[in-house]
Copies of this chain bind each other. A is one copy, B any other.
Amino acid sequence: MDLPVVGLVGGGHLSRMTYQAAVSLGLSLRVLADASDDSAALVANGVVVGSLTSLADLAALAEGCEVVTFEHEQVPGELVRALEENGHKVYPSSAALLHTQDRLVMRERLSALGAPVPPYAVVSSAEDLSGFAASYGWPVVLKAVQGGYDGSRARVVASLSEAEDLLAGGVRLLAEQHVPVRRELAAVVARSPYGQAAAWPVVETVQADGSCVEVIAPAPRLSDERALQAQELALDLANSLGVVGVLAVELFETADGIVVNGLAMRPHSSGHWTIEGSRTSQFEQHLRAVLDYPLGVTALTAPHVVVATVLGGEGEPELDKRLHLLFGRDPALKVHLHGEAVRPGRTVGHVTALGDDLAETRDRARVGAHYLRTGTWDPS
């Protein structure tokens, strides 16, 4: 077929699910993975095993590809730029991607655009941090300016002494006001080079121990006005930052409104529900966007869609046996497993429940994920 080859940097489960979408479209998707037992490398044909910090490996991936894209933000910006300078089409571009790699750049740009962000400052000393806390109060959220993944490497500190090791670590730090978060939301959109964009309904995301454990689509009890505000914000940011592909805008909902917590320019955990829950999945949409195909409709296939993350539990997982029993209990639950070796706390996969009743749908997803983790039915 005369269909394009897409290069995808990263061998994780986001690549794995993008690969499934590429198969439907008849595309060749070439994956750059760290190791042959990475989640995507276990299933993909045409894997380049190499390092995302090696320009030679990135160039080997890009050779002959119509476009190169990413499943994470970890490729060093100078290597993305080098690919671009060598004539490769890269989406999202290095200029757009920088906003996911450098939190200061992101905060400054969003502030300039008038997007709602918590008050922030770069702090490099105890004096800086004291000054920030004097203005915005303790506790303060400290994050590395660069690095981290899905909001990790953030720490809430209640006093100077709790920040001592961070300040002494020599890493550039961003201090942010600790906003009183009612809940977390995410607005996921996609944008093509042509400028077309599409938004899914705003979702609620539930975090535990620093990772996303539940996504509820659409976000319950969210006013139409605020939902529209969040979607417009995400679409505006996609346009202003020149994003091509999926953009997930992680939001805090506070008593006063919403503020941006983070950005991801790729398929995101807050969009897994779209595989069965929307007529176009985030994985298909990301491919359509980076290839500048017209985007797919984002209509829902059920009133409520809930995704629960399956984490690795203690001991022998017995997944085969548990799948049997789970499917027996809930023949409508959809299961997605990453295929990698199971380790405690590592994401093993996710389950998706679809239904007419929100409480029941949430319960089914939670029970399913808990059972696959533990082999017991009661998640309470």
Contact = CB atoms under 8 A, between A and B. Distances in A.
Interface in A1-44: 1-4, 16, 19-20, 23-26, 28, 41-44
Nearest to A341: B1
A349 B24 CA distance: 9
A322 to B, nearest CB: 10
A375 interface: no
B43 A288 contact: no
Q: How many copies does the complex hold?
A: 2
Interface string A334-364: 1111111110000011000010000000000
Interface string A244-283: 0000000000000000000000000000000010011000
Interface string A311-335: 0000011111001100110011011
A42 B43 contact: no
Given A25-B337, A319-B1, A337-B3, A297 B332 contact: yes
Contacts of A4: 320
Contact of A331 (B294, B334, B342): B294
A376 interface: no
A323 B1 contact: no
Contact of A2 (B2, B47, B317, B334): B317
A60 interface: no
A293 interface: yes
A32 to B, nearest CB: 15
A346 to B, nearest CB: 12
Contact of A320 (B2, B295, B318, B331): B2
Contact of A339 (B1, B276, B327, B338): B1
A265 B4 CA distance: 35
Contact of A26 (B23, B276, B327, B339): B339
Interface of A: 1-4, 16, 19-20, 23-26, 28, 41-45, 47, 276, 279-280, 288, 292-297, 299, 301-302, 316-320, 323-324, 327-328, 331-332, 334-342, 348-349, 354
23 contacts: A1-B319, A1-B337, A1-B341, A2-B317, A2-B320, A3-B320, A3-B339, A16-B23, A19-B23, A20-B24, A24-B335, A24-B337, A25-B323, A26-B335, A26-B338, A26-B349, A28-B42, A44-B45, A288-B327, A294-B327, A296-B331, A296-B332, A299-B332
Given A1-B340, A20-B24, A301-B301, 10 more contacts: A20-B20, A20-B23, A23-B43, A26-B319, A26-B336, A28-B42, A28-B339, A42-B45, A288-B327, A296-B332
